[in-house]
Amino acid sequence: MMYLLMCVALMAMDYRGHYVPRIRSAIEAAFEPLYHLVGLPSRAVKTVTEYSRSYQQLLDENRNLSEVILQQSGSIQQLRALQEENLRLRALLEATSGRHFEFRFAEMVQVNLDPFSHKVIIDRGSRDGVFPGQAVLDGTGVMGQVADVHFGLSTVLLISDPDHALPVQIARTGLRTVAYGTGETATLLLPNVPQQADVRLDDLLVTSGLGDRFPPGFPVARVTTVDRDAGETFSVVRARPLAALDRGREVLLVIQRDADATGAKENMPGNNEPGQAAEDSQEATE
């Protein structure tokens, strides 16, 4: 009953003085902070959701960009590798210019740089005319010689192998000696150089042509140390091979032309007498 009377009174007041809208406005103004407080959780959830969505979009974009960068980086690396390979091939071709030889490209398929055995396997064999004792080069110098030949593969004994000996001469003076492998790709040993011999640091060593294995004039190494002992007959000379014995992939097989080519063909499998190839391989490492 009391509520009814209050309602009637309020209606009369609103009819006469229009007080109710002002009262309603005052009440709404008083409760406005409460409205904001009640709506705060939903707004917070909406803000967090939008932030999470934006953050996830940024993560996705970052991931996509990272993938693009990786793909571009891989392409650039591939291009660089192709450029380096082209440079190596060009160096190989330049190394052959002006010489009376034929050359056959080959690629390494396996490398063994054990301290006691420095050998690589190439993808050429008897079907390609490879023969034991055949000289092998890269774009900068002599790498070694063919030791074993199979149908589609061959084993190359590197000049750094402890069992390898290579007749060389000093390009500046013409002094002939022998360079031995040490088991280290960066060092060749020349133990039989006379004390009075004119040997200097950075002297170029080239193949002498003796032994009928390596054609003369191909670069082999540069002198790095000369040890002279007054009480010894010979100096001990060390040299660094010019060929990239522990790097690179492409090599050249040397085929001599004209009269020399005849001797090369006689060493090819099928033209040797029984056991001759094995003897040639043995002589190659002596």
Domain end residue (candidates: 51, 73, 97): 97
Distance CA(18)–CA(159), nearest Å, equals 113
Residue written as token pair 């000369």: 226
- Do 149 and 59 share a domain, yes or no? no
The yes-or-no verdict on residue 85 having pLDDT over 80 is no
What is the structure's pLDDT at 133? 93
The whole-number average pLDDT for the span 81-91 is 67
pLDDT band at 132 (very low <50, low <70, confident <90, very high): very high
Domain end residue (candidates: 73, 97, 121): 97
The yes-or-no verdict on residue 20 having pLDDT over 90 is no
- Do 144 and 41 share a domain, yes or no? no
Residue 154 CA, chain-centre distance (Å), reads 23
- Do 167 and 48 share a domain, yes or no? no
Tokens at residue 10, please? Answer: 């309020």
CA distances from 93 to 103, 156, 224, 254 (A): 9, 20, 28, 12
Is residue 118 domain-resident? yes
pTM of this structure: 0.60
Domain end residue (candidates: 44, 68, 97): 97
Is residue 125 domain-resident? yes
The whole-number average pLDDT for the span 45-52 is 72
- Do 152 and 227 share a domain, yes or no? yes
The yes-or-no verdict on residue 275 having pLDDT over 60 is no
Give 60 or 146, the one with higher predicted confidence. 146
- Do 86 and 130 share a domain, yes or no? no
- Do 198 and 266 share a domain, yes or no? yes
Q: CB-based burial of residue 27 (10 Å sphere; 0-12 exposed, 13-18 middle, 19+ buried)?
A: exposed
Structural domain containing residue 261: 101-284
Cβ(232)–Cβ(195) below 8 Å: yes
What is the structure's pLDDT at 177? 95
Task: State the CATH number of the domain containing residue 177.
Answer: 2.40.10.340
- Beta-bridge partner residues of 221: 205, 241
